[in-house]
Amino acid sequence: MYDVQSIRKDFPILAREVNGKPLTYLDNGASAQKPQVVIDAITQAYSMEYANVHRGLHFLSNLATDKYEAVRGTVARFLGAADENEIVLNSGTTEGINLVAYGWAMPRLEAGDEIILSVMEHHANIVPWHFLRERQGVVLKWVDVAADGSLDPQAVIDAIGPKTKLIAITQCSNVLGTMVDVKTICAEAHERGVPVMVDGSQGSVHAPVNVQDIDCDFYAITGHKLYGPSGSGAIYVKKERMAEMQPFIGGGDMIKEVTKDGVIYNDPPMMFEAGTPGIVQTIGMGVGLEYLMNLGMENVAAHEASLRDYANAKFKGLNWLNIQGNAPGKAAIFSMTLDGAAHAHDISTILDKRGVAVRAGHHCAGPLMEHMGVSATCRASFGLYNTTEEVDVLVDALELAHELLA
Ligand SMILES: Cc1ncc(COP(=O)(O)O)c(C=O)c1O
């Protein structure tokens, strides 16, 4: 039984008021709030268990190292990876995708080689590929989404040509909530010898993930959207791809030996983790993932699906409200505009007065905004602790915005 009221009590911030109203936090797509267990883990790590990892021989360093390293196994379990050595710990999806761009793609791709992207990628899954376009003449091929925001996997497959070297695609749009059938894309792409990198920054938050079942080559996640601390994350790298990767950031920890003449690198995945990592952030992420696994990601997905359906039914009554894309099976993420010239920033300011936190702007998705023909939207993104009552609060606040701005 998914008891959302008791789950809400795990998140202290949800009890606060904003602008004299109870907080209605609908900006989970940007970052999620933290349960007390994560906050406690951070406090415990800094107050009783802190030292640098990997290099000390003293008690606290060993303790911090054990706690930090245990998270590799936790991430592997959360993602259904066969081996924890396929997990590179990092600061988030942005770093994960840059590792693939610099460590795997840059040394392998030549001028004229192609990378396929969808138009609904986040800038984190666009800009690193533009680096390759600018610096070595790699060609970016874009796949459009349909009018309802859905992405036909066949359109991605059809874009594959003899020069295609990688598909880099999101599992879930941070703007539209569209879920992408990445499993079909991986199966078909592999038939044609093309690896697939999945941006799981949003997908991992809203539904269970099994990277072995998806059979992707890379799968990037970010801790702060998974109810963990900011500055934490990980990327799953399939063993074969890991063996093909070159180190990206150089420094301590990713080496076995350094002399004046050269470097002997550490074994993977450590080879891809240079410098002092986000020790406490990573430990906190591990606790956040355990929290999610205890709730059960299928249960989280079912709860969010019921919020999505409830919200869609409510939105139907608002004939001045436009939801950008509403693909079947999408996550509970709604990008909204109002009829008339109301700007997303003004809408979100009015919502804020009612204690409703949403995001307004381009959502780091320039090509999608261009495709939709809008410069900004107001995005309400739901999380595991949101309720149908909060949908009602949102609808009331939107009605006020419509009244004031129409
Ligand atoms: C789909 C998607 N990809 C990548 C990112 C980047 O994540 P981070 O900033 O945590 O690295 C985000 C964050 O909003 C996102 O929504």
Structure tokens at 134: 């600018």
Residue 248 CA to ligand 1 centre (angstroms):
20
Ligand 1 atom closest to 173 (CA) = 1
Q: Is the CB of 217 under 6 A from ligand 1?
A: no
**3 state SS for 14-43:** HHCEECCEECEECECCCCCCCCHHHHHHHH
My answer on whether 43 and 24 are in the same domain is: no
Question: Ligand 1 centroid vs 205 CA: distance in angstroms?
Answer: 11
Which distant-in-sequence residues (6+ apart) come within 8 Å of 115 by Cβ? 105, 109, 129, 132, 138, 139, 140, 141, 164, 165, 166, 167, 168
Domain boundaries, position 10:
4-30+296-405
Ligand 1, atom 12: closest residue by C-alpha: 201
Does 281 sit in the ligand 1 pocket, CB within 6 Å? no
Nearest alpha carbon, ligand 1 atom 14: 30
Kindly report the CA angle at 360 between 357 and 361, in degrees rounded to 5? Answer: 155
Owner of token pair 């610099």: 102
- 262-300: pLDDT as tens digits: 999 999 999 999 999 999 999 999 999 999 999 999 999
How many angstroms separate the CA atoms of 57 and 62, rounded?
A: 7
Q: Please give the single-letter amino acid code of residue 351.
A: L
Residue 340 — very low, low, confident or very high, per pLDDT cuts 50/70/90?
confident
Catalytic residues: 364
**CB 202 near ligand 1, within 6 Å:** yes
> Does the beta carbon of 94 sit less than 6 angstroms from any atom of ligand 1?
yes
- CB-neighbour burial class of residue 16 (10 A; exposed 0-12, middle 13-18, buried 19+): exposed
- Give this prediction's pTM: 0.98
Sequence-ordered alpha helix ranges (H) in 340-387: 344-353, 366-372
Q: What is the pLDDT of residue 55?
A: 80
Q: Whose CA is nearest to atom 7 of ligand 1?
A: 93
| CB of 356 closer than 8 Å to CB of 397 | yes
Looking at the structure, tell me whether residues 245 and 367 fall in a common domain. no
Q: Examine the domain organization and report whether 92 and 8 are in the same domain.
A: no
Number of structural domains, the chain? Answer: 2
- For a mutational test of ligand 1's pocket, the pick from 170, 175, 202, i.e. the residue with the most ligand atoms closer than 8 A to its C-beta, is 202
Stretch 109-119: mean pLDDT: 98
pLDDT beyond 90 at 27: yes
Position 341 pLDDT exceeds 80: no
- Is residue 124 lining ligand 1, measured as CB closer than 6 Å? yes
pLDDT at position 320, please?
95
Question: Do 14 and 123 sit in the same domain of this protein?
Answer: no
Long-range CB contacts (< 8 A, 24+ apart) of 258-262?
A: none
| pLDDT for 342 | 83
Nearest to 355 by CA among 21, 31, 32: 21
Positions of E strands within 124-189: 139-143, 164-170
For 143-160, what is the mean pLDDT?
97
Pocket test for ligand 1, best of 120, 182, 198, 222 (most atoms within 8 A of CB): 222
State pLDDT tens for residues 293-334.
999 999 999 999 999 999 999 999 999 999 999 999 999 999
Same domain, 110 and 44: yes
- CATH number of the structural domain spanning residue 157: 3.40.640.10
Which domain-ending residue is among 231, 261, 294?
A: 294
What residues contact 381, with CB distance under 8 A and at least 6 apart?
A: 26, 27, 28, 29, 30, 174, 177, 331, 332, 333, 334, 358, 359
Confidence of residue 347 (pLDDT cuts 50, 70, 90): very high
Output the CA torsion 95→100→106→109 (10° steps): -150
Residue 1: what pLDDT?
A: 87
Query: Within this chain, do residues 235 and 339 fall inside the same structural domain, yes or no?
Result: no
Whole-number percent of the chain with pLDDT over 90: 94
Of the residues 294, 316, 346, the one at which a domain ends: 294
Co-location of 125 and 166 in the same domain: yes
Residue with tokens 């149908």: 388
Nearest to 244 by CA among 197, 291, 180: 197
Residue 98 Cα to ligand 1 midpoint, Å, equals: 12
Q: Are 7 and 385 in contact (CB under 8 A)?
A: yes
How far apart are the CA of 365 and the centre of ligand 1, in A?
10
CA of 272 to the centre of ligand 1 (A): 20
Tell which atom from ligand 1 comes closest to the C-alpha of 96: 11
Residues 269 and 344 in one domain: no
Asked whether residue 155 falls in the same domain as residue 20, the answer is: no
- Pick the last residue of a domain from 263, 294, 325: 294
188 CA from centroid of ligand 1 (Å): 26
182, 258: one domain: yes
Residue 208 pLDDT grade (very low, low, confident, very high; cuts 50, 70, 90): very high
**pLDDT of 239:** 97
**Residues counted in the chain:** 406
Q: Which residue has the tokens 């039984």?
A: 1
Q: Ligand 1 pocket check: which of 226, 364, 368, 381 to mutate, most ligand atoms within 8 Å of Cβ?
A: 364
pLDDT for 148: 94
pLDDT band, residue 339 (cuts 50/70/90): confident
| Co-location of 247 and 392 in the same domain | no
Helix (H/G/I), strand (E/B), else coil: 234? strand
On whether both 246 and 304 belong to a single domain, the answer is no
